[in-house]
Chain A
Amino acid sequence: MKYFRLIWKNAWRKKIRTSLTVLSVFVAFLLFALLSALGFAFRGGVDVADAERLIVIDKISLINPLPMSYRNRIAATEGVESVTHASWFGGYYQDPRNQFGQFPVDPESYFDMYPEFNMPAEQFEAFKRNRTGAVVGREIADTYGWKVGDQIPIQATIWTRADGGRTWEFQLEGIFSTDDPRGSSALMLFQYDYFEEARAFGKGTVGWYILRVSKGADPVQVANAIDLQFANSPNETETSTEAAFAQSFTKQFGNIALIVTLILGAVFFTLLLVSGNTMSQSVRERISELAVLKTLGFSDPAVLGIVLSESILIMLMGGLLGLGLGWLLIQGLAQQMAAFLPGIFLSPAAMAGGVAMMIGAGILAGIFPALKAMRLSIIDALARA
């Protein structure tokens, strides 16, 4: 880019004016980053949800356990391809503030159900072989600095051991991550068999079932069939799709997405006016300089490109700063808000969209001044100077 110096210097010809313009672009894209990360959280659950995965919980309350015997009956229901289960352990690591999800699961069927969780094959094998083994998501491993092979004591808040102890010791056999950038891997998983054998009470139950609907089957019908089966039993069930689960939560935020879009629209409209004005002032001030460039042999497209690049450069300067700060804030925010609003996330798609908007806005703001510069008649411009 041998024209870069020229473009850069021209962009800063009026330092205060350019700074103010960059600042307004910065604010607009900071807002864009924050709002789209929040919007993502509101929509997020629904997007991540797998429509072919159903969750079976106790009809009365999520915290009521379901009998282990349901597993085979669910598996035998028409339209069910596979079943697994999980339970809520609710322990903490070292300090009661260090809470995160810990689920006793059946390793094989659980990881089958969640193909988005990835782990090296040898770690998975080691996990299956070790009754007291555990695996954690990358986020958890990073938070506590755990490595494969570490001995990890978890304090139980609910599940006392049959021997009266409250400390459960696990060996970390593997670390998994999720393919889905929007999903979370903030989980610790260990063997249900060990949990079942060692716990003091509640034997023969699980927290909830997760099942996959076979291809072509209607998830709604399958859900109804399951709930019907267990009607009038001591443990009636409530089966819903992950999406429905998430949707019922998100519905109340439905209009927020619209409001976010409207606010962003207004912000960007203002932004275009501000930077468009900056660019046309800037071009008006240097008609004779542009004429000189053309006199020296700069072609019409080159002059157009130089002015447009200047406009895009101003957008990129403010925009990337805004997006960058937004990203940093969101990292912090996501941790703070994880409990209330999980899935606050600035997706790569949103960031790419942001950069595309910067370039688009740069072109829109600069195109008319750039065309004016391009069409400028050298002799008229020089005669006026």
Chain B
Amino acid sequence: MSDILAKLRGVSRIYQKGKEKVEVLHELDLEIPKGDFIAIMGPSGSGKTTLLNLLGGLDKPTAGTVNVGGAELSSMSNSQLSHWRSTNVGFIFQFYNLLPVLTALRNVELPLLLTDFSSKERVKRASIALDIVGLADRAKHYPRELSGGQEQRVAIARAIVSDPSLLLCDEPTGDLDRETADEILRLLQVLNREHGKTIVMVTHDAQAADYANRTLHCDKGTLEAREAA
């Protein structure tokens, strides 16, 4: 089954809110083939971010198993997960989440600090990643000197710099205008098609979802994954 990258089996995620239990995901089964580009849509609070967190090893299911790239995330310790994340998954957020004190290049370099690469090698790889997202000429700029779209490109470069197979994007264009959003989405498409990245993207925007190979819909309360018509 080498063409399946991620496999969720009977995954439930229950949050305890005071005395009340909120079951956000209910016995979810999901398979994500390698090289897929999936959009996830659904109303607010339906568990989209929760699902991404489980896929990215940021959270653990209350029940069920999450397997990504052969790693059994649901049974790994926190420090194992943190090590796993550093090489296997890239995160892209709605608000870019760059470190304001570092330049674009140094932001992109961050994940490489966790590797054994020499400083020269790290800078080289970070520069290549910036080049891929079309921002080679902004390497020395600080986030506050960049536009929203450029910041998101830097964030994407940071997500791909350690060459993970899976990219998880939580509303990556939620804060951008149409035109810039389309640029970012085309970039994701390139990463998917030319660099073979498997992408799971949460979005509220139907036009954004069109860039994906397929769209899954979440429904309120419990998640029900179904193929779009």
Contact = CB atoms under 8 A, between A and B. Distances in A.
Partners in one complex: yes
B102 interface: yes
Given A297-B82, A297-B83, A379-B59, A289 B99 contact: yes
Contact of B82 (A2, A13, A288, A300): A300
A294 B113 contact: no
Nearest to A2: B113
A224 B97 CA distance: 82
A73 interface: no
B93 interface: yes
Nearest to A303: B82
Contacts of B211: none
A300 B83 CA distance: 11
Contacts of B95: 385
Interface string A341-385: 000000000000000000000000000000000000011001101
Contact of A298 (B100, B114, B122): B114
Interface string A1-29: 01101100110110000000000000000
Interface in A272-296: 288-289, 292-296
B97 A288 contact: yes
B37 interface: no
B106 A5 contact: yes
A290 to B, nearest CB: 10
B78 interface: yes
Contacts of B122: 2
Contacts of A13: 100-101
Contact of A2 (B79, B97, B102, B119): B119
A288 B101 CA distance: 13
Given A295-B91, A299-B79, A299-B82, A9 B110 contact: no
Contact of A296 (B53, B86, B102, B106): B86
Main secondary structure of the interface of B (DSSP, over half): helix
Given A296-B114, A297-B87, A385 B97 contact: yes
Interface string B42-59: 000000010001001011
Interface string A216-239: 000000000000000000000000
Contact of B113 (A3, A9, A288, A382): A3
B111 interface: yes
B97 A297 contact: no
Nearest to B88: A297
Contacts of A302: 114
- Give the interface size bracket for B toward A: 20 to 34
B111 A9 contact: no
Contacts of A292: 97, 99
Given A2-B113, A6-B113, A379-B53, A295 B101 contact: no
A227 B132 CA distance: 94
B138 interface: no
A359 to B, nearest CB: 23
Nearest to B97: A292
B18 to A, nearest CB: 16
A341 to B, nearest CB: 48
A292 B94 CA distance: 13
Given A296-B85, A300-B79, A10 B110 contact: no
B227 to A, nearest CB: 28
Contacts of A2: 113, 119, 122
Interface in A151-170: none
A13 B100 CA distance: 9
Given A379-B59, A385-B95, A298 B82 contact: yes
Interface string B5-45: 00000000000000000000000000000000000000000
Given A13-B101, A295-B91, A378 B58 contact: yes
Contacts of B87: 297
Contacts of A385: 95, 97
Nearest to B49: A383
Interface string A293-337: 111111110100000000000000000000000000000000000
B114 to A, nearest CB: 5
Shortest beta-carbon contacts, A-B, top 7: A297-B86, A9-B101, A297-B85, A292-B97, A296-B111, A299-B82, A378-B58
19 contacts: A2-B122, A5-B106, A6-B106, A6-B110, A9-B101, A9-B102, A9-B106, A293-B110, A295-B56, A295-B58, A295-B91, A296-B85, A296-B91, A298-B86, A298-B114, A299-B83, A300-B78, A300-B79, A379-B58
Given A6-B110, A382-B93, 17 more contacts: A2-B119, A5-B102, A5-B106, A6-B102, A10-B101, A289-B97, A289-B99, A292-B97, A294-B82, A295-B58, A295-B85, A296-B85, A297-B82, A297-B85, A378-B58, A379-B59, A385-B95
